[in-house]
Amino acid sequence: MSERVPMTPEGYRMLQDELKRCKTVERPRIIEAIEEARSHGDLTENAEYDAAKEAQQQLDRRMQDIEDKLARAQVIRMEDIQLDKVVFGVTVALTDLEHDRQVTYKLVGEDEADLAAGKLSVHSPLARAMIGKQAGDFVCFRSPAGEREYVIEEIRKE
């Protein structure tokens, strides 16, 4: 059995929308570019044709990846989450002990991660270190910058 891919309902919809865009907008645009390049004649030395075919292959791989993730999706709904410990889908307020500053992250699926928006992949080192911890617990993990230590201030649904 394939491994489930955890995601929020928003992440699931985001992947569905991307797949729809790939099929209805990107693929027809690439097919048109291939046809245009073919009309220029000799395909053996046609850089436009080669580039369009490469773009088609990349798009096909991305669509297969999205379809695979959607098929294996485990959509976690916020109403199913309890707030007694850190789990997928919760928002965690932390204090960075080294820099004495607060940060807040929502633990989301890999495709939803966006640090600038405060969305942390559940597979990241910090998220893995937080899973199962409770408010008041210390979290230590190794980052590219070295050992980091946080304290969990609050766990909430958002």
Handedness of CA 93, 96, 97, 100 (dihedral sign): negative
> Which residue matches tokens 């030395």?
45
pLDDT higher at 137 or 145: 137
Domains of the chain: 5-75 (1.10.287.180), 78-156 (3.10.50.30)
Alpha-carbon distances, residue 146 vs 21, 34, 109, 121, 143 (angstroms): 40, 48, 24, 19, 5
Both tokens of 149, joined, read 């230590």
- CA dist 2 and 85 (Å) reads 27
Q: Which of 46-55, 67-76, 80-89 has the highest mean pLDDT?
A: 67-76
Q: What is the tens place of the pLDDT at every residue in 81-90?
A: 778 899 999 9
pLDDT digits (tens, 9 = 90+) for 94-105: 999 988 999 999
Residue 98: predicted pLDDT: 87
